[in-house]
Amino acid sequence: MSEAAGRRRGRSGGGGAARRAERSAVRIECAKVIERRIPDVEMLTEEVLGIIENNAETVLEEIGVAFVENPGALERWRQAGADVRGERVHIPRGLARQLCATAPGSFVQHARNPERSVEIGGRNLVLAPVYGPPFVRDLSGGRRYATIEDFRNFVKLGHMTKWLHHSGGTVCEPTDVPVNKRHLDMLLAHMTLTDKPFMGSVTEPSRAQDSVDMCEILFGGLDGRTVMTSLVNINSPLTFDATMMGALEVYAAANQACIISPFIVGGAMAPVSVVGTLTQVLAEVLAGVAYSQLIRPGAPVIFGAFVTSIDMNSGAPTFGTPEASQITYGAGQLARRLGLPYRSAGSFNGSKLPDAQAAYESANSLNAGLFSGVNFMLHACGWLEGGLVASFEKFVMDADQLGVLHKLAAGVSSDDEAQAMDAIREVGPGGHYLGCAHTQRHFKDAFWRSDLLDYKPFETWDEEGARDTATLASARVRRLLEQYQPPEMDAGLWEALDAFVARRKEEMPDAFV
């Protein structure tokens, strides 16, 4: 029987069965990048913003920033007009901002599937998963060191997740693979298990170069295209180490994007005050972005701000706090005044489990990210225990809630259909809207609906085992991994990437430090 005949028979031989089959079929959807149609929250006044910008310039000129173990960077700064004393670079007032002017206000990161390419900047918000945890957690195995199999499963979940636009980078740290080789396996997973855009390695300059070389294979040459957005953390306070700067140098020279991101724990790595912290954040970003432009004018960069506070009793970092939100809002204003894309926020929390604490703190941080004007949100799903743990259940819980950000960002329509005057006239006093024409036209898409949370009556919920959200999330993880389907890829391309990885691994002995 032909495929067409089979389809005809399915339609005529029982519409209910056909509709049920359609509903149960595996569909891998990817939502479009969020385009904000809502205003940003402007928390700081012009006066306060001016104070921060003036103080940041003072920090750069009088205190300076350290570029350690990097003679090449010191020479570049000296030639640009900075006052270099030992490893400390004193940047004359206005020089860093002048250099930053060549950085683009937005850029496209190309994916191997052109439909998955993303534009970062402007009114857009791109969502990417958790980055960096050495541990993973799930209901069946508890907390444990991450493996490459865990890593691959997270990449698969990201591929299957509608609301994630980006595959991220080190979604967990696969500790069963040598430190000097694991970046190759992680890149290969991102390149083959999904067709969404991804991040490169920054843990050593040669690993950044491996990332560029593998992308040359994947994309058949880069030709100036930006195909990676990678995370370059600043050693706050005011220190730029040779490892991260070496990776930045590789990526900027190849026109690959970098997030220039201070790593701030308020009270430990920055002042306890909001304005003091924002002053340091701005000074560090100005210096980092300016340096990227010394490597290659026009290289794409993102103004990053990873900021949290500290518990003054235990010394542990805290997340989802009002002070962190205030800094997130303020840094967004500073990024827009610089004309740069902005990275901040995520599903941040300090909880050990995907529980109420995790949900409250994550919601606070996610909403701050949306309303502060973030363009690239790393750690959007899966973060647990202050970033030490990537949780499978938390990953799908957060990913589900990212749909809320899409809905909120769309704003409120006020066209004739949204005004619903026909519905109000049809129902009149004392009626109900369940059966009116307007409701019938919109019942499928009127309200955002979770794919995870339980809306059933108590009796049904109780009969089905009284499952809490973590239990529902665990079942969803299993279902998504069972349904996973890899994106199409040319066999020759896969073999070329695999051969590159095998060759590079053979060229160096294993190292676990």
What residues does 136 pair with on adjacent strands? 144, 390
State the CB neighbour count (10 A cutoff) for residue 487: 14
Q: What pLDDT, on a 0 to 100 scale, did the predictor assign at position 25?
A: 56
Pair 230, 257: CB distance under 8 Å: yes
Residues 222 and 114: their CA atoms lie apart, in Å, by 14
Q: How confident is the model at residue 309 (pLDDT cuts 50, 70, 90)?
A: confident
Q: Over the stretch 370-408, which tens digit does the pLDDT of each residue have? A: 999 999 999 999 999 999 999 999 999 999 999 999 999
Q: What pLDDT, on a 0 to 100 scale, did the predictor assign at position 7?
A: 31
Q: Residue 150 is encoded by which pair of tokens?
A: 């865990």
Q: Over the stretch 339-376, which tens digit does the pLDDT of each residue have? A: 999 999 999 999 999 999 999 999 999 999 999 999 99
Q: Report the share of the chain in percent with pLDDT over 90.
A: 90
pTM here is: 0.93
Q: How confident is the model at residue 17 (pLDDT cuts 50, 70, 90)?
A: low
**How much is the mean pLDDT over the chain?**
94
Picking from 279, 366, 270, 356, the residue whose alpha carbon sits closest to that of residue 317 is 270
Q: Residue 139 is encoded by which pair of tokens?
A: 């209901």
Picking from 204, 328, 234, 311, the residue whose alpha carbon sits closest to that of residue 277 is 328
Pair 341, 372: CB distance under 8 Å: no
User: Which three-class secondary structure state does DSSP give residue 209?
Assistant: helix
Q: Over the stretch 78-105, which tens digit does the pLDDT of each residue have? A: 999 999 999 999 999 999 999 999 999 9
State the CB neighbour count (10 A cutoff) for residue 1: 7
Pair 162, 31: CB distance under 8 Å: yes
What's the sign of the alpha-carbon dihedral 497, 501, 502, 507?
positive
Q: What pLDDT, on a 0 to 100 scale, did the predictor assign at position 12?
A: 37
- Work out whether strand 106-109 and strand 88-90 pair parallel, antiparallel, or are unpaired: unpaired
For helices 205-218 and 182-193, the axis angle rounded to 10 degrees is 30
Q: Residue 29 is encoded by which pair of tokens?
A: 């959807």
Q: Over the stretch 134-177, which tens digit does the pLDDT of each residue have? A: 999 999 999 999 999 999 999 999 999 999 999 999 999 999 99
Picking from 376, 353, 343, 350, the residue whose alpha carbon sits closest to that of residue 364 is 350
Q: Over the stretch 178-188, which tens digit does the pLDDT of each residue have? A: 999 999 999 99
What's the sign of the alpha-carbon dihedral 505, 508, 512, 513?
negative
Q: What pLDDT, on a 0 to 100 scale, did the predictor assign at position 188?
A: 98
Residue 371 makes CB contacts below 8 A (sequence gap 6+) with 38, 40, 41, 329
Least confident span in 118-127, 217-226, 313-322, 484-493? 313-322
Reply yes or no on whether the pLDDT at 208 is more than 70: yes
